[in-house]
Amino acid sequence: MLRLFNTLLLACWCFLIPTNSLQAKEIELPLLGDSSSGIVSKQQEYQLGRTWLKVFRSRVREYDDPLMQLYFEELIYNLAVFSDLEDPDLELVIIKNPTMNAFAVPGGIVGIHTGLFAFAENEDQMVSVLAHELAHLSQRHFARGLEAQRASTMVSLAGLLAGLVVAATVGGDAGLAAMSASQAYASNSRLKYSRSNEQEADRIGLQTMERSGRDPSAAGDMFETLLMKTRYSGSRVPEFLLTHPVTEKRIADARGRAMGSAMRHYLDQPDYYLMRARAIVSMDTSNKDSITKFQSELDSNTLRPDAANYGLVLAYMNSGQLKKAERLISALLKKHPRQIAYQYTDLELNLAQENYSTALFKIDRLLTLTPNNYPLMAIESEILWQDHQYEKSAEVLTTLTRSRPEDPMLWYRLAEVRGLAGNISGVHEARAEYFILVGAFDLAREQLGLAGKLLTADFKRSSIVSQRLRDVVSMEEKAKRL
């Protein structure tokens, strides 16, 4: 697995700079399983996916928005309950990028670009994309394709990483070109199997939507949006090079399967439109554009005035028009006092106004009602940080890392605030955890070594650091054996 890890890093680097065509023989990848063992085991698949995630995180910065993270986690875990996943141990990756993209990687990794919000007209359309990706995972399409085309599948996985890195950091066309180069190594039989996978994921995804009480016809609507985008993009890429090929037949199939549920009434989800407004404001390059966009919606008597007003609040905040933002968010809170998005943004506004005492008073009250709420605790740590209450901020972040130990940004923030609090050994410990999550095991060992030298007089903490150092060594050894 360590060789695979290095190869994946090399693949990213190769696709991020101009280079000649990469030959398959230049990539040395370990073979997971063999002809006698059939497919890769679930444990190997999990380890492979988590290694992939470490490499991805080392190259791509995730979108750091606790509110949206919680929204998607609740959405996808609720959906997973109705899926065919035996063990829904999922890891969600959100990328702030205007391209319409989502992906699933072996080991329970699901990635989402915020650009999906610009195309999904409602939550069920967004869910149709997530259900499709969960179907790829539940049906273990990577493992099932590995036996038939082992070498090209491994090359394709490295290329997938490179393509997704480019797509997330540069743009969709460049990322598609990288993924296309990787897929060029696949044989015709693998291509056909890939299309078969897509058909199966469509079918299983629709079943998941039906079981979860979602509108299956939303899948056809979303496919139609995808098709329209490729039609009018000006340079349509050949269908066989797309990771999710969309045709009129695929749309018709999706609509045909959903016909039995067409007469049912499905509730609209207001939270979706608030997150959509949040994503749109974050992607807009101009605050003026955001203000114009949401004001135009209100002027045209939109059916969702609360979401439009919420978008205005965020745009006004970003442009420094804090008084206007305050008036709007107060009105929204008066109308919906329990809406977490309004509560959170009200605190964001207090933070922007440097009104820390008021914000902390509000947080204490809200956390009494909803203890251990991730977004509220995350913004509490930020407010304490900005108020120079570094030790208290570190306490909140330490609590969060216990419940969310796989979040690298929490460890990154914890290292920063511990440094400001003067806890130098704690800085090294937090940095080590961050480096572990981005796959830099050598740097993690270095940080733990530095922490250990500072803790020689503290037997308990020194023992914890020594054990963690042994854990890192064990991680590397397991990687080598995979």
- pLDDT tens for residues 11-54? 343 333 333 333 333 323 333 443 334 456 778 778 888 888 88
The pLDDT value recorded for residue 22 is: 31
What average pLDDT does the chain have?
Answer: 81
Q: Does residue 115 have a pLDDT over 80?
A: yes
E strands along 119-270, which residues?
none
The pLDDT value recorded for residue 475 is: 85
Q: Does residue 378 have a pLDDT over 50?
A: yes
Q: Which residue has the tokens 């039995």?
A: 260
Stronger pLDDT, 443 or 239, i.e. the higher one = 443
So where are the chain's domains? 2-261, 270-481
Q: Is-contact 172 99, C-beta < 8 A?
A: yes
- pLDDT tens for residues 401-427? 999 999 999 999 999 999 999 999 999
The fold adopted by the segment(s) 270-481 is 1.25.40
- pLDDT tens for residues 192-222? 446 677 788 888 988 999 999 998 888 888 8
Q: Does residue 180 have a pLDDT over 50?
A: no
Stronger pLDDT, 294 or 136, i.e. the higher one = 294
Q: Does residue 150 have a pLDDT over 60?
A: no
The pLDDT value recorded for residue 14 is: 36
Q: 264-302: string of b/e by CB count within 10 Å (b at 16+)?
A: eeeeebeebbbbbbbbbbbbbeebeebbebbeebeeeee
> Quick one: which of 135, 219, 156, 167 has its CA closest to 59?
167
- pLDDT tens for residues 302-332? 999 999 999 999 999 999 999 999 999 999 9
Distances (CA, A) of 56 to 9, 61, 106, 165: 9, 9, 13, 7
Report the interhelical angle of 459-481 vs 2-16 (nearest 10°): 80
Reported confidence tier of residue 79, pLDDT bands at 50, 70, 90: very high
Q: Is-contact 389 417, C-beta < 8 A?
A: no
Q: Is-contact 174 167, C-beta < 8 A?
A: yes
> Quick one: which of 289, 296, 201 has its CA closest to 244?
201
What are the helix (H) ranges across 184-247? Answer: 188-211, 217-231
Reported confidence tier of residue 480, pLDDT bands at 50, 70, 90: low
Q: Measured between alpha carbons, how far is 393 from 125 in angstroms, rounded to an integer?
A: 38
The pLDDT value recorded for residue 236 is: 47
The pLDDT value recorded for residue 220 is: 81
The pLDDT value recorded for residue 199 is: 81
Phi, then psi, of 76 in degrees rounded to 5: -75, -35
